[in-house]
Amino acid sequence: MNAPRSLGRRRGRPVRRLRIRGKWWKVKRQRPPVRGKLDGLCDYATRTIYVNPAAADQRSTLLHEVLHAALPDLTESAVEQTEEALEMALRKCQEPSNESQGRQSGPARFRYSAVPRVRVRAGQAVV
C-alpha cells in the first residue's frame, strides 16, 4: 500500500513541529505569506516552514523546505538535487524487496540495511 503524497503524519496527527539542527521549527499547512504562487517557504526569522495545501506534492515540498532550514548555505540548485536524491532513496525503501514477495500478506517490511545511504557533501547528494 503506497502512502498518500501529503505531509507526513506521526501517530495519526499532521507534523506541526520539527527539530532541525537543534532548533524547533513550526510547520504550517497554509499558503505562504508572500505574494506569488509558491508551494512552500522556509522563514528563517520565525523558524517556520509553510507548505501550501494546494501544492501538487506536499511531501516533496516539505522535504525541500526542511533542506533549506537544515542547510541554509546551499544554492537552490543544490537543494533541488539533494531533494531528488532523497526522494529516490525514499521510493526505493517503499518498493517491496524480491525476498519478501509472496511471503507476506501485509505491507512489505524492510530491514535497516535495505535503506540506501545518502550523504550530502559540498552541495551534492551522493546516494
Predicted confidence (pLDDT) per residue in 6-32, tens digit: 455 555 567 789 999 999 999 999 999
Q: Are residues 18 and 68 in the same domain?
A: yes
- Torsion sign (Cα): 56, 11, 63, 109: negative
Asked if the structure places residue 7 within a domain, the reply is yes
| Boundaries of domain holding 9 | 1-72
Same domain, 78 and 64: no
pTM comes to 0.67
127: helix, strand or coil = coil
| Tally of domains within the chain | 2
Q: Is residue 104 part of a domain?
A: no
| DSSP string over 96-111 | PPGGGTTT-SSS----
Same domain, 60 and 79: no
Per-residue pLDDT reduced to its tens digit, 110-119 = 444 444 455 5
Helix axes 58-70, 76-94, angle to 10 degrees: 130
